[in-house]
Structure 1
């Protein structure tokens, strides 16, 4: 059983005075667009395609000093109504035997969120007293340039699961599955849990945070923060016919930035909770049911999955993302990056 499932299964009863929040909720797809306001701020279009969930203030540029998403956004595709954060990952494509590409859709997590219009499951986890993120906070994890398992293992919870069913939580790997997956491919992205206590960003968008060492935050990053964790279900079922796969037997999936290995798996996060809503939820030891859409957190205002599905934004980059394509969107900008 995977780490996240163990945590959630053990979270049913939390003794009084013990800080152990296990907040899990659905975020429907907000938009699929070739923008990246963290790595490529102001660049329209950015080099590769992303799938984005969260608040509708997502934009080409999101300046952490001037952009207050909690007051700018008018809706969120996440179930907590006070969460206007943005969460995004790269987009998965299927490359057919004839060399054309087809975008793979996301679907709602089968463990309670089947009614979600794609997107991903978001977790905020803690196993002790933690400090919620500050306005303007952002971070990335992983590296789209990685092409080896040794590189990928630097981020031990950026992994793939070949789903035999929505319940599958075993057989984790750092590269793309090499056989058809009955229920799709789940991709997990887990962010560091220690902060330097000063900077809401850094030049590489990663140095201001760190993973714990021996279960403790290092002296350079002494502030414990909640663990942000994504699970994305990619619906690869329409592509399970091996006759459409490469003739040499290799796997056919590729990230939107040209990675055929899967080792470049990565994720982006911009904090946008309203006021002290996230800190309240963490301090209240809020829990979520594992097999339903119930969020047990009286301190938070919540909406239904049906309502979260209604929050979307229009694509700003006008390009065909739905047909069979001769090349990946932004291929000319990514030349030299794919290996």
Structure 2
């Protein structure tokens, strides 16, 4: 089932059926070469990321000691009690002459146009679920994947070439080979079952799992909310065949050197304040799928204009603008 079908199915559930559907905007917090999950303490990490959420994001975020809700002073997300961090790799365009240019993110045209880039974040449930515990983190996908078979291990880590803001067909696991008139949407969906004990695991994935036949496996019996990202990349300025490879191949590359797209992946660190997320899930909060409307009185909010003001200066000082001879870090093609 494609992600849009999953969202529509969630929307069809009656509020009394313990179905929550939180959808909200998180503006760009920082673009930096840090990765506190996979490369903790490394300044810089091997490849570039785009990060949203609370401004406690750092190179080191120990799962037992780093309390995002108490150390952050602002969040780039609309819900002011959400100091979590959500991040993905960064998209680059590789021109015919071999130089690279960073592709910026843009606000979701379905309700969040005013957001200064970033992501649309979802928390979805279709029954009673348990909110994440302090220190919880997970990743999904892998930057090492280079085949469709590998990419399909994680449903809904996909690309949608937008011909308009409402395009929800033609999803794929690799980069599109045609112009995307309204930009490129990349989706990342995390597993929804937890082992009930560990807030992390050595590979940052084994403590969570996808359901089997719509039920959590015995190894991961605790149902958790589905965390879901949509990132809108503004590829429109690159819709110029004179810049694309002469052989007609696609020109996009992830910041870790993947020109296939199969290495699409995402990272998450939980940072909601107190019991705010559990309250919202228990209250069956509902967000509109196509606007900025949310019915969730239990949560405090700020405007997108206010969320845009929460930002951080990059820890790694390097040139990320203009045309670059190589990708930042050691991931040049």
Write out aligned runs for 1:321-336 (5 A).
321-331=320-330, 334=331
TM superposition shift of 1:316: 0.3
Q: For the residues of structure 2 that align with 1:107 and 1:151, how far apart are their CA atoms?
A: 28
1:194 paired with 2:193, answer yes
**Counterpart residue number, 1:105:** 104
TM superposition shift of 1:156: 1.4
**Counterpart residue number, 2:285:** 286
Q: Normalised by the size of structure 2, how large is the TM-score?
A: 0.98
CA contact (8 A) 1:2 1:170 kept: no
Q: For the residues of structure 1 that align with 2:111 and 2:27, how far apart are their CA atoms?
A: 13
Write out aligned runs for 1:143-222 (5 A).
143-222=142-221
1:320 paired with 2:319, answer yes
In structure 2, do the counterparts of structure 1 residues 158 and 83 end up closer, same or farther at CA, with 3 Å as the change threshold?
same
Q: For the residues of structure 2 that align with 1:21 and 1:207, how far apart are their CA atoms?
A: 25
Q: For the residues of structure 2 that align with 1:15 and 1:46, how far apart are their CA atoms?
A: 43
Q: For the residues of structure 1 that align with 2:27 and 2:2, how far apart are their CA atoms?
A: 23
Q: For the residues of structure 1 that align with 2:42 and 2:329, how far apart are their CA atoms?
A: 12
CA contact (8 A) 1:25 1:293 kept: yes
Q: For the residues of structure 2 that align with 1:323 and 1:24, how far apart are their CA atoms?
A: 33
1:178-234, CA deviations, whole angstroms, 9 ceiling, x for partnerless residues? Answer: 001000100000000000000000000000000000000000000000000000000
Q: For the residues of structure 2 that align with 1:104 and 1:242, how far apart are their CA atoms?
A: 17
In structure 2, do the counterparts of structure 1 residues 309 and 162 end up closer, same or farther at CA, with 3 Å as the change threshold?
same
In structure 2, do the counterparts of structure 1 residues 52 and 15 end up closer, same or farther at CA, with 3 Å as the change threshold?
closer
Secondary structure at 1:243's aligned position in 2? coil
CA contact (8 A) 2:10 2:126 kept: no
Secondary structure at 2:237's aligned position in 1? helix
Count of residues in Structure 1 that have an aligned counterpart in Structure 2: 333
TM superposition shift of 1:3: 3.2
Secondary structure at 1:278's aligned position in 2? helix
Q: For the residues of structure 1 that align with 2:53 and 2:285, how far apart are their CA atoms?
A: 20
Q: For the residues of structure 2 that align with 1:112 and 1:232, how far apart are their CA atoms?
A: 14
**Counterpart residue number, 1:277:** 276
**Counterpart residue number, 2:119:** 120
Structure 2 gap ranges (5+): none
Q: For the residues of structure 2 that align with 1:299 and 1:4, how far apart are their CA atoms?
A: 27
CA contact (8 A) 1:8 1:22 kept: no
Secondary structure at 2:149's aligned position in 1? helix
CA contact (8 A) 1:12 1:287 kept: no
Q: For the residues of structure 2 that align with 1:248 and 1:208, how far apart are their CA atoms?
A: 44
TM superposition shift of 1:35: 0.3
Q: Normalised by the size of structure 1, how large is the TM-score?
A: 0.96
1:4 paired with 2:10, answer no
CA-based RMSD: 1.3
Secondary structure at 2:70's aligned position in 1? helix
1:68-110, CA deviations, whole angstroms, 9 ceiling, x for partnerless residues? Answer: 0000000000000000000000000000000000000000011
TM superposition shift of 1:291: 2.0
CA contact (8 A) 2:10 2:125 kept: no
In structure 2, do the counterparts of structure 1 residues 15 and 244 end up closer, same or farther at CA, with 3 Å as the change threshold?
closer
Q: For the residues of structure 2 that align with 1:145 and 1:5, how far apart are their CA atoms?
A: 28
Q: Please say which of residues 5-14 and 166-175 is displaced more in the overlay.
A: 5-14
CA contact (8 A) 1:2 1:169 kept: no
TM superposition shift of 1:7: 2.6
1:14 paired with 2:21, answer no
TM superposition shift of 1:251: 0.2
TM superposition shift of 1:9: 7.3
